[in-house]
Chain A
C-alpha cells in the first residue's frame, strides 16, 4: 500500500507537470488578448501594448512559462489579472463551495440511485424496471440548464418555498444556507442519480445470473442476504468507478448550476477566467482540478481493494 501510494505520488507530480504545461500552452494559443479584456472597447493600441508589457505578456512564451512554473513550485499561483486578488485565495474560497455541491449531489445520488438500480436490476424487463429506466433516461437527457430553470420556476417562483436569495455561508446562517443548497444539489443529482442507477442495474443484472447467486439461494439464504451480501458486493465495483468519474466531471462541470443559482463555486471562477483570458486564474483552477481528479482516481483504486479483497492495489 505504501509503495503504491509513493508510486502514485510520483505519477501525480508528473501528471501535474504535463497538465500545467498543456494548459499554459493551450491558453496562449486561444485568440483574444487579456489586455484588451481588461481595458474594454475603447482602449487604444498604445494602452493595450502598455498593459501587455505590465503583465509580462510581451515576453517570449518560454520565459513566461519558466517564471510561472518557478512561482507554482514555490506554491504561488500568482495574482488574477482582472481582479487583482491572489489566485490561491479565490480558489480556496470557491473550492469549498464547489465540493459541498458535488459531495452532497453525489451522496444524494447514491442514496437514491443505488436502491433504485438494485430494484431495476432485480425486476429487469418488468414494469418497475421500465418505469425507472424511463425516468433515468429523462434524468440523463435533460440538460442541467433545463432542470435548473424548471426547478427555479417551480420552487422559487410558483411555490415560493425556496426563493433565490443572496448566498450565505453555512457558518453564518445554517438554515438559510440549507435552503440555498437544495435546488442546485437536486439539479446536479438529476443526471448523477440516473448514471448510478443505470450502472447499478446492469451490474446487478449481470451478477444475479451468476451461479454463485443461484447457489446462495439454493442454500436457503434470505433474499435480503443474497442481494446485499452476495450480489451487491460483487456488483458494486463498476458503480464505484462511475461515481469516481462523476465526481471528477462535476469538479469543473458545475458551471451551469452555479450560474443559474448564483453559487460561487470553482466552475464559474474558471469560466470567468477563460472569458477574460485571465491566465493565472485559469491555470490555477485547472491545476487544482487536476490534483483533485487524480486524488479521486487514487481513492477509487483504494475503494476497489477495500470492497473486493481479490483486488490488490499495486
Chain B
C-alpha cells in the first residue's frame, strides 16, 4: 500500500517565517545583512560564499520534521479521511537525468513575467525565471538570486545578489537588471500584478558590490514576500530592450531554459547547465502538457503517460491516494471560500443579516457536500496556524446555530429572507461551496436564489454590485496576514467590490504593514481577525484541499503551502527510475 498523502498544514504550523523580521532601528546595516544571511542559513538552499555548496536534497528533512508534528496540523484536519500518511518521497541520493512529463491543468495564456496569469502558467514561468527571494521546502523565505538580504532601516531593504549568475543567453546578471525589472514592474503600461502592492516603493537603486536597495516611502513589512511572488521575476534588461515579446518567449536565470511552445500541445524546457545552484536541476528537462480535462489528466498520471499533474480534482483525491505507485501532496491551508455582501445595499448593510448568514452554515457539512471531505471549515479567523496573527481563541465564533440566525433575521425584520446569491459556474471549487451554502441557508429560513454565471460575467456582476450576495473563493498571495488588505482594507480591490470600508481595520492593517516587530504584528493581526468577526465584511465558508499528484518515482518535489502555491521546489525534482 502506498497511501501517501501529506497535508502541509504541519509545515505551515511550524513555519518560522516570522523570525525573518529584523527590527530595523536597532541594527546596523552590516549586522542586518548578516542576520538576513543567517536566517536563510537554517534553510536548505543556502548559498553563502558564492553558491558552490552542494545542495542537499531537501524534502527528506522537511518531510521528516513535518510528519513528526503529524496530528498537530492545522484547523479541522480531521475532516479528511485517509490523508495523513507520512511521505517517503525524498529518500535516496538524487539521480541526474530524465525528462519530467507534467500534466498541466491550463494551457498558459502567455509567458509575461510580470502579469500573473494563474497558477499553471506561474509554475512554468518559475522554472525559467528566478525571483530575488523564494521559499524552501518548509515554506520558509530564503534567498534565490539574493545571496543575502535584509532591512537596512525601516524603509530600506537591501539585497546582495549572488555572484556569477548568468542568464540563459550567457549574459551575467547585474544589479541593473534588477533595477530595470522593478522599473518595468512599476511602469503603468506593464500593468504588473504586484504594482499595487508596491505603492510605497519610491525607487530601486544599484549599490556597490552587487547590491540592490529598495527605498520605501513608508515601512512595508511585506516587501520580502512580494519579492518572492511569481510576478516579481527578474528579467534581463538587454533582452527585454532588444524588442522580444515576453508573452511568447522566456529567457531568465532559472533552472530550465525555454525551448519551444506548441500552443495547446506542449511547453518544452531543457536543463540550464549553468544554473546558479550547482548540481541543480537534476532533470534534463520538463515537458508541460496542457490537459485541461480533470479526468484525462488523472488518467494520464494513472497510466503513466505523465509523471506529475497539478490541480488534482477533489473527486479523484481518494482514488489517487489509494493507488499504488502514486503520491499525493496537498494542503488545506491556502484555498478558501467566502460569502460576500454589497455593504451599502440591503440586506447586506445590516450587521444582523451578515451575522445570520455566518451562523446559518454548518461548515463541517459543507466540506462534505462540496468537497467530499477534502477541506476544512472556517468558524473563526482566516489566518492559518503558524502564521503571524493566527488566533486559535477565535475558533468556533460562528459555529452553526440556525436558531440564532433566525432570531437575528427576525430582529432585523427580515424573517423568511429571500435573496439573490451569485456565484460562478466556471470553477467547481467556487461553485460547489455555493451550492452547499444555499442548502445550509435554508435551515435558517434564508431562501437564496443561486445565480451561476460564467467567470468573467460573474466578475463583472460582482464589480457592478448586481446581486446583494455572492460566493467566491481564492487563496492568499503570500504567507503574511497583510494579504487581508486586498479584501478588507478600504483600498483593496476586493473591498472596493464589496463597497466596504472600516476605519479601524484600515488603521490596524496599516500598522501591521509598517511594523516589523513580530510580537507586535501578532497582536495587531489578532485584533484584525477579531474586528473582522465583529463587523463581518465577509463571511468565511470553508478551506479546500489542493495539490499535486505524481508517480512514486518522482522525488524531491514538495508541495508548499506557501505564497500562491509556489512550485519552486520543482527545480529539485528527480526521477528515481
Q: Do A and B bind?
A: yes
Residues on A facing B (Cβ under 8 Å):
30-33, 36-47, 50-51, 54, 82-85, 90, 93-94, 149, 152-153, 156-157, 160, 163-167, 259-262, 264, 268-269, 272, 275-277
- Give the residues in chain B near A261, CB-CB below 8 Å: 296
In the complex, whether B456 has a CB less than 8 A from a CB of chain A is yes
B293 touches A262 (CB 8 A): yes
The answer to whether the Cβ of B470 comes within 8 Å of any Cβ in the partner chain is no
Q: A164-B296, A260-B293 are in contact. Are A82 and B110 (CB under 8 A)?
A: yes
Asked if A85 meets B289 with Cβ closer than 8 Å, knowing A30-B457, A50-B188, the reply is no
In the complex with contacts A37-B456, A275-B456, A46-B265 CB distance below 8 A? no
B188 touches A83 (CB 8 A): no
* CB neighbors of A among B262-282 (8 A): 262-266
Q: In the docked arrangement, what's the CA distance between A160 and B247, Å?
A: 37
Which residues on the B side are within 8 Å of A269 (C-beta)?
A: 264
Do residues A32 and B459 form an inter-chain contact, with CB atoms below 8 A? yes
Chain A residue contacts of B248, Cβ below 8 A: 83-85
User: Which chain B residue shows the least CB distance to A93?
Assistant: B263
Q: How far apart are A94's CB and chain B's nearest CB, in angstroms?
A: 7
Q: Does residue B300 face the partner (Cβ distance < 8 Å to A)?
A: yes
Across chains A and B, which 6 residue pairs bring their CB atoms closest together, nearest first?
A32-B456, A264-B264, A84-B247, A82-B109, A47-B191, A31-B460
Contacting A268 at CB < 8 Å: which of B118, B264, B287, B295? B264
B242 at the interface (CB under 8 A from A): no
B residues less than 8 Å from A40 (CB atoms): 115-118, 193
**Whole-angstrom distance between the alpha carbons of A25 and B299 in the complex?**
41
Taking a contact as CB atoms under 8 Å apart, the answer to whether A38 and B115 are in contact is yes
B107 touching A272, Cβ below 8 Å: yes
Question: Are B302 and A157 neighbours in the complex by a CB distance under 8 Å?
Answer: yes
B493 within 8 A of A: yes
How many A-B contacts if CB must be within 8 Å?
A: 140
* Supplied contacts A43-B191, A44-B196, A164-B296, 11 more A-B pairs, CB within 8 Å: A33-B456, A39-B191, A40-B193, A43-B193, A43-B493, A83-B109, A163-B303, A164-B303, A166-B265, A167-B264, A264-B262
A-B contact pairs, 30 of them (CB 8 A): A31-B460, A32-B456, A33-B456, A33-B459, A36-B460, A37-B456, A44-B196, A45-B493, A45-B496, A47-B191, A50-B188, A51-B191, A83-B263, A84-B110, A84-B112, A85-B263, A90-B263, A152-B296, A152-B299, A153-B299, A163-B305, A164-B291, A165-B300, A165-B305, A166-B305, A167-B264, A167-B289, A259-B292, A264-B262, A264-B264
Alpha-carbon distance between A243 and B131 when the two chains are bound, in angstroms: 55
List of A residues within 8 angstroms of B196 by Cβ: 42-44, 47
> Bound state CA distance, A257 and B245, in angstroms?
32
List, in ascending order, chain B residues with CB within 8 A of A276's CB.
109, 456
The minimal Cβ–Cβ distance linking A62 to chain B, given in whole angstroms, is 22
Residue pair A163, B304 in contact (C-beta under 8 Å)? yes
CB contacts (< 8 Å) of B426 on chain A: these are 275
The 8 Å CB contact of B474, one of A41, A157, A259, A260, is: A41
B101 at the binding interface (Cβ < 8 Å) = yes
> Within the assembled complex, what's the spacing in Å between the Cα atoms of A46 and B263?
31
Closest A residue to B491 by CB, please name it.
A44
Q: A42-B493, A163-B305, A164-B303 are contacts. A149–B189 as well, Cβ < 8 Å?
A: no
What are the residues of chain A within 8 A of B474 when measuring CB–CB?
Answer: 41
Residues in chain B near residue A163, CB distance under 8 A: 300, 303-305
- Structural contact, A149 and B459, CB atoms closer than 8 A: no
Task: Tell me if B150 counts as interface (CB < 8 A to partner A).
Answer: no
**Residues B264 and A50 in contact, CB atoms below 8 Å apart:** no
Residue of B nearest to A149 (CB): B295
Identity of the chain A residue whose Cβ is nearest the Cβ of B295 in the assembled complex: A149
Most chain B CB atoms below 10 A, which of A40, A41, A157, A167: A41
A residues less than 8 Å from B193 (CB atoms): 39-40, 42-43
Assembly CA distance A160 to B303 (angstroms): 7
Nearest CB to that of A38 among chain B residues?
B115
Which residues does chain A contribute within 8 Å of B291, judged by CB atoms?
Answer: 164, 262
